[in-house]
Copies of this chain bind each other. A is one copy, B any other.
Amino acid sequence: MNDLTIALRRDTGKHLYEQIYLHMKQEIREGKLLQGERLPSVRFLAEFLQVSRSTVELAYGQLVSEGYIEARPYRGHFVCQAEELFDLGKEENIQEAWRGKEAQGKREFAYDFSPNTIDMSAFPYATWKKITKNILVDANSDIFIPGSPKGDYSLRETIAHYLHNSRGVNCLPEQIIIGAGNDYLLMLLEKILGRHVKIAMENPTYRRAYRIFDSFAYRISPIAMDGSGMSAEGLYESGADVAYVMPSHQYPTGIVMPIGRRLELLKWAGEKQGRYLIEDDYDSEFRFKGKPVPSLQSSDRAGKVIYMGTFSKSIAPAIRMGYMVLPLPLLQVYEENCSFYSNTVSRIDQRILNEFIGKGHFERHLNRMRKIYREKHDLLLNGLKGMEKRFMISGENAGLHILLQDKTGTEERELTKAAADAGVRVYGLSEFCVGEIAPLWKADTVILGYASLGKEQIAEGLRRLWDAWGSLPHRRQ
């Protein structure tokens, strides 16, 4: 041992044993203490450093338990064999390049007609807080211990009841799996359906779902939409096992799949074992004309529909809660192969939501939001009246966005660019297309969402669009 001098400091907060330990560790890592080298005895080092023996024992004990040195009975402590340390500092330099990377922003628009936002201004924060408080007060510790992998049974009962009443969904609480958002639930579904799935998707469709299926290495068949939704012929031709559809309000086209097409799809699924329909019922709560359209699941008698819903649109995206209703054959697979995955939602949050729905707050909130969205929706449609010559409006009976198809042949990118130059963001339909654009959905359509915009923003945004688009040449009369 070359150098026993350890500059012990009694004025810092650090224990003496820790200083000895850190010093020796450093010496070993830097190769100053060599493999096999014998350390001074506890008694010797204690006297040399003027500390108690137990201080040295603690330091040696820590080095032993971390494997830097070993104790050989009656012989003392020896430095262990250790591979060379890797080149220091390399990782740190690369790290520097990443630092603060997330602070870089994106271009902001004063008027962003995003179809993928919601209005949180009328959220019943006070009610939510009160429920949270009551639950924490009442709670014995059982909401802090792990719950069922599918989610709390009582919440699943509440959701089953809600889905039955509002969407005609026919299911037991046993069939429901609660999860931290639909991205996660799709990951879980991958485990249930297996890795080798050919999936049919409507085109245009919800890009996020597309990216997720793509990340699964599912083979994806985009199927052109006709006016009734996914074409049944297209589905048969695709050779797909599973079809992902949004029958009650297709995103982004807003098409409601009529019962005839629904039954065709159910028939397709029923013809072969292993065929399923994923029904994404993402925004069924918001329909402004007539009764809500029942779910596809409600027409399923053969256990072929996987029903997915979310509270992201109806409550808040940040609460991260969605659910999936498995048909019985897949419930069996889940129970056998996948039920060991822990649930992903906090039990406190599950309890809050259960209370929020069970006590009627959810329904009241939905009614309030329907009214708010309907007002914005009507304002938007009224504001578009002057544009009717140029645009065909569609998807206006439900949901939080509408579509404008340019009848004069102006291309989508001209429309979005002119809008952007006026500080307004609108979304081209091609952003939602996968593969080739379906013939019915030419690149002449833009989407306007309105959920998170205020009434004055909608009015001013439309004024700007009107100015910007009014000066674009008509390509076709």
Contact = CB atoms under 8 A, between A and B. Distances in A.
A183 interface: yes
Contact of A90 (B128, B289, B302): B302
Nearest to A287: B65
B289 A83 contact: no
A83 B260 contact: yes
A226 interface: no
B346 A83 contact: no
A137 B126 CA distance: 9
B120 A144 contact: yes
Contact of A184 (B61, B171, B180): B180
B88 A301 contact: yes
Nearest to A332: B98
Given A184-B344, A259-B66, A319-B348, A174 B123 contact: no
A341 B83 contact: no
Given A128-B136, A267-B83, A67 B257 contact: yes
A146 to B, nearest CB: 4
A382 interface: no
Interface stretch (A3-11, A208-216, A432-440, A462-470): A208-216
A343 interface: yes
Interface stretch (A292-300, A385-393, A422-430): A292-300
A313 to B, nearest CB: 12
B302 A262 contact: no
Given A91-B300, A99-B172, A291-B18, A83 B144 contact: no
A133 interface: yes
A258 B175 contact: no
Nearest to A327: B91
A61 B289 CA distance: 9
B141 A123 contact: yes
Contacts of A264: 83
A349 B318 CA distance: 10
Given A91-B301, A270-B86, A301-B85, A21 B291 contact: yes
Given A215-B337, A344-B180, A344-B184, A294 B125 contact: no
Interface residues of A, number: 112
Contact of A91 (B86, B328, B337): B328
Contacts of A266: 83, 86
Contact of A145 (B92, B144, B317): B317
Contacts of A132: 132-133, 136
A68 B300 CA distance: 16
A345 B180 contact: yes
A477 B94 CA distance: 60
Contacts of A475: none
Interface in A278-292: 289-291
A263 B83 contact: yes
Contacts of A61: 289-290
A91 B175 CA distance: 12
Nearest to A347: B318
Most B-side CB within 10 Å, residue of A208, A319, A341, A343: A341
8 contacts: A58-B290, A66-B256, A80-B258, A84-B267, A85-B263, A99-B172, A125-B141, A184-B184
Interface of A: 18, 21, 28, 58, 61-62, 65-68, 70, 80-92, 94-95, 98-102, 120-121, 123, 125, 128-129, 132-133, 136-137, 139, 141, 143-148, 153, 170-172, 174-175, 180-181, 183-184, 187, 191, 195, 208, 211-212, 215, 217, 228, 256-264, 266-267, 270, 289-291, 293-294, 299-303, 316-321, 327-328, 331, 337-338, 340-349, 397
**CB-based closest 6 A-B pairs:** A67-B258, A180-B344, A86-B301, A83-B263, A144-B316, A67-B259
